[in-house]
Structure 1
Amino acid sequence: MPEIRFFVSPDGRDDGPGTAEQPFATPKAAQKAVRAATSAMTGDVIVSFTTGVYRLDESLAFTDTHGDSGSNGFRVVYQAQDYGTAGQAKVELSGGREITGWATGDDGVWTAPIGDLAPRRLAVDGTPATRAARTDGLPGSVTKTSTGYVTDSVEPQSWPHPAGLEFVYPGVYPWSEARLSVASISGDASSTTITMAQPAFDNAKSLYDAKWYGAGGDGSWDGLATPSVLENNVAFLTEPGTFAVSRTDAGDHVLHYRPRPGEEIGKTTVVAPVLETLISGQDVHDIVLRGFTFTDATWTGPARTGGYLHYHGNARYERGDFRKIDLGADVGYVHVPAEPVQLPANVSLTSVSRVSLEGNHFTRLGAGGLLIENATDVAVRANVFDEISGSGIAVHTSTRAAVEDNLVHHIGTEYRGSPAVLVVESAETSVAHNEIHDVPHNGIVITGGERAEGTQVVSNLVERSMGKLMDGGGIYLSAPQGSSHAGGALVRGNVIRDVLTSYNFGLYADYGAAWITVLGNIVHRADTPIVLQVGPPMENVAFVGNFWDALPDGYDTPPESVTVAGNTVLPKESFDDAIRADPAGADILARAGRRGLER
């Protein structure tokens, strides 16, 4: 029997039959029709969307108990009409709301009432706008106190609506960036007192309690001494394309936006994200999503908790105790969350199997882009991830996930420790032929653990990683990745160029990394291509047949059970020409990155 087809169009009607001639108007109506058809499938069910913006009033949730899964060996396919052809429809699934009721003040700033919304992102005619910011920190001579800060400048007393103000601490740990909310600002003619939101500020002091011992140093370290960046206040609204939200206890918030040249009220569309989840999947199987653009979703976690207490990767502190990690008498110590909480994503699939996301665009999103958790046989292929506040793709405790041929760039725009691709304690996962560039910290992160084994990181192209924070690399691996080289992680044929901030490593095996084979990769323009001395020490790691432009420290005296052999150092100044002249190097270059693209 042929497949069953439904159609959706912005010009359709939900009380129609969902045919090409009489399409549905909303994804919800199409989903209802699919649920009625899945119990006795004799072919695929295909739902095609015509060009348009579909604004979701609520999340589109797929659950097996409601009949959303494919059955009898067939799939449910949601797709842009004419997917994969030159005439493919441009379909946007948006969690945003258009802002109306604009007025213009004497200073040219637009204002609009937005009720209880407090957006952290805006899209103006589809282009992201950023929160108004002061990038030179607090004015005056600043002293940290038990409840916040005191400065001898009276300027902060003139900043209106300080309850929406957020302080940013890049490098609070070298690999972390914290965000903390302000509770109030007060003062007199000679000084200003800034009181921070609690308990977030006290928790931050506990989390970022550290000592770092350098040559002749006393270990003093206070990443919270003073914020570097201040965000979201009308006083900072000087640059076109920036906005701020004035917040009140009554929820009568006002959005302020300084327009770019050529933008006009009545002609320019401003969209604020509202939904925190665009798409969710729970226990479903045999579903395909392809050809969509997922946009304009938010995450209100920092407002709910008084800040974003980042630790590493997607992990943050939100509850529980703190654990002290002793890095050695000559290094120091740090504190970490005893119960780390992971950053959520605006598209989230949990306990799913045989699900495919292909050819989609994830953009203008306020959390992570995509989270795959406790899943089996999931494919994430040929998607684009950009303009995302957190990570691009995160895979947690899953088996046989394929993350391949994706383009990930300009992610971590708010939560800068976020990796482009993160794999946590997963088995038989493939991260292959992805292209990653212009990211604030690590490009690819693979963290090990009891479930981790058989992960392959193959032929990825990672350029301009570590753009904001330190102590990371183009590809970062930590903890054991199995129990043997045969069942461990393979990192092969990747090209890593331009690892930007100081104290970085192209290929970084860290924090007790074990059972990893690093074979035939290229590293050019990193602080150093690899690091051999880490704490806890790495074990059973092999660096073989790689090309790089500097000799790593300790190359001739690696740790016991660590193999470093057959690697080639090429001149830094002529590296590009030299690697292309080497047959093995030229082959690695030709294979790296997304397939099907000319290089």
Structure 2
Amino acid sequence: MVDIYISPTGKDTNPGTRQEPFATLERAQLAAQQATNDVTIHLRAGTYPLSQTLTVNAPTKHHITYQAYEHDKTSEKVIISGGHVIVEWQQNHDIWETNIGERDARQLYVDGERVERASIQSLPENTHVTKTGYTVPTAEMPQWQTPSSVELVYRGVYPWTEARCGVSSVRHDTDSTVITMTQPAFTWAHELYNSAWDGNTSSGPGLPTRIENDASFLTPGSFAIDRSTPGQHILRYAPRADEDPSTTHVVLPALETLIRLTNVRNMSFKGLTFADATWLLPNRDQAFLHYHGSGYYNGTGEINKVVVVEDQAWVTVP
């Protein structure tokens, strides 16, 4: 049995012993793959930030175990994080701001608590749905600060779904405001979301149930990310009354996948917490057209129709 130790206070130039531990999972994994016997990698207490997905694709004949230090006893608290800690803020009136470069996320954690993505309810009831988006009476249309960063959420197009589609642009005319949605996603949504149920029929996604991610939506304890300038994304957070930028711990999830194992056997993880992953799939031009479960439509192949489901309904499915 080979024992390897890592610690947030260690160094990757160390030998990886209890007294002189490594610092990173990557260094420990390299040492484990070079071993000829079963390996236990002991992680001391603390947070291990990942700058990129930890990828393991080389099969080993021996067993590798990642575990919190003294897992079989008291077990130290170990967190594997895909997040980026925000350390510098600029205050703009009541809002905290920081440039996060190319990073993006749908989640933000403040002092260990997930906070809300800034949002408002749906568009006005007299909004007209078009093939490319929506037309809203200008007098009833709120001013969004960065329309191309806004995302529309459609919960319950089918009772079990929550689709997401981004806004491409907003044009204000004298009488009406034209919202153009991301393509090809919105066209696909019209194809996908057609249903008949209990005497009611629907065509297309309809009006959104929630509108997210604009600075104009901010309320205390919520955030928005301005993506209007590529590579210069701006995170904005509306703090709560007791929060101070110099002491509040803020983590922006940065990785979608923390660990990827391919063709791997004989590997286990014990007593570890995996945290701070994000989800960016809806950012694509294809958006996220949820069907049910983990299924979503990505525009490939034919649109198939299930004509009768238990003599109750038919739905269009990918």
Q: TM-score, normalised by structure 1?
A: 0.51
For 1:160-186, what per-residue CA distance to the aligned partner results, in whole angstroms no more than 9, with x for missing partners? Answer: 101111111111012212111111111
In the other structure, the counterpart of 1:208 is: 193
For 1:23-72, what per-residue CA distance to the aligned partner results, in whole angstroms no more than 9, with x for missing partners? Answer: 111111111111111xx32xx3111011111111121122235xxx342x
Output the amino acid matched with 2:292.
H
Output the amino acid matched with 2:246.
G
Give the drift of 1:261.
Answer: 2.8
Alpha carbons 2:191, 2:204 under 8 Å: kept? no
Quick one: which of 104, 120, 129 aligns to 2:115? Answer: 129
Output the CA distance in 2 between the equivalents of 1:49 and 1:328: 51
Q: Number of residues paired by the alignment?
A: 317
In the other structure, the counterpart of 2:163 is: 178
Output the CA distance in 1 between the equivalents of 2:89 and 2:15: 39
Output the CA distance in 1 between the equivalents of 2:104 and 2:54: 23
Give the drift of 1:109.
Answer: 1.2
Output the amino acid matched with 1:138.
L
Give the drift of 1:306.
Answer: 4.3
In the other structure, the counterpart of 2:254 is: 274
In the other structure, the counterpart of 2:66 is: 78
Output the amino acid matched with 2:190.
K
For 1:138-172, what per-residue CA distance to the aligned partner results, in whole angstroms no more than 9, with x for missing partners? Answer: 13511101111111143535111011111111110
Alpha carbons 1:56, 1:95 under 8 Å: kept? yes
In the other structure, the counterpart of 1:117 is: 103
Percent identical: 40
Output the CA distance in 1 between the equivalents of 2:287 and 2:77: 36
Give the drift of 1:116.
Answer: 1.7
In the other structure, the counterpart of 2:28 is: 30
Output the CA distance in 2 between the equivalents of 1:235 and 1:222: 31
Alpha carbons 1:57, 1:95 under 8 Å: kept? yes
Quick one: which of 302, 305, 312 aligns to 1:324? Answer: 305
- 1:408-447 residue pairs with structure 2 within 5 A? none
Quick one: which of 81, 84, 106 aligns to 1:97? Answer: 84
RMSD of aligned residue pairs (Cα, Å):
1.8
In the other structure, the counterpart of 1:386 is: none
Q: Aligned in 2, Cα 1:292/1:7: closer, same or farther, shift over 3 Å? A: same
Give the drift of 1:263.
Answer: 1.4
In the other structure, the counterpart of 1:540 is: none
**Matching of residue 61 in structure 1 with residue 40 in structure 2:** no
Output the amino acid matched with 1:185.
V
Q: Aligned in 2, Cα 1:287/1:335: closer, same or farther, shift over 3 Å? A: same
**Matching of residue 256 in structure 1 with residue 254 in structure 2:** no
- 1:155-304 residue pairs with structure 2 within 5 A? 155-156=140-141, 158-212=143-197, 214=198, 217=199, 219-222=200-203, 224-238=205-219, 240-304=220-284
Output the CA distance in 2 between the equivalents of 1:249 and 1:242: 21
Alpha carbons 2:190, 2:204 under 8 Å: kept? no
For 1:219-257, what per-residue CA distance to the aligned partner results, in whole angstroms no more than 9, with x for missing partners? Answer: 43246221111111111112x221011112433211110
Q: Which segments of 5 or more consecutive residues in structure 2 lack a partner in the other structure?
A: none
Give the drift of 1:300.
Answer: 1.6
Give the drift of 1:318.
Answer: 0.8
Q: Aligned in 2, Cα 1:160/1:46: closer, same or farther, shift over 3 Å? A: same
For 1:563-594, what per-residue CA distance to the aligned partner results, in whole angstroms no more than 9, with x for missing partners? Answer: xxxxxxxxxxxxxxxxxxxxxxxxxxxxxxxx
Give the drift of 1:336.
Answer: 0.4
Alpha carbons 2:138, 2:172 under 8 Å: kept? no
Output the CA distance in 2 between the equivalents of 1:62 and 1:174: 39
Output the CA distance in 2 between the equivalents of 1:201 and 1:304: 12
Equivalent position SS for 1:261: coil
Larger-gyration structure (1/2)? 1
Alpha carbons 1:169, 1:223 under 8 Å: kept? no
Alpha carbons 1:176, 1:310 under 8 Å: kept? yes
Quick one: which of 284, 287, 298 aligns to 1:307? Answer: 287
Alpha carbons 2:100, 2:235 under 8 Å: kept? yes
Quick one: which of 10, 13, 16 aligns to 2:14? Answer: 16
Alpha carbons 1:70, 1:287 under 8 Å: kept? no
Q: Aligned in 2, Cα 1:284/1:189: closer, same or farther, shift over 3 Å? A: same
Between 1 and 2, higher relative CO (CA 8 Å, sep ≥ 6) is seen in 2
Output the CA distance in 2 between the equivalents of 1:248 and 1:335: 34
Give the drift of 1:101.
Answer: 2.7
Equivalent position SS for 1:31: helix
Q: Which segments of 5 or more consecutive residues in structure 1 lack a partner in the other structure?
A: 338-599
Output the CA distance in 1 between the equivalents of 2:204 and 2:240: 35
Output the CA distance in 1 between the equivalents of 2:310 and 2:19: 74
Equivalent position SS for 2:29: helix
Output the amino acid matched with 1:98.
V
Q: TM-score, normalised by structure 2?
A: 0.94
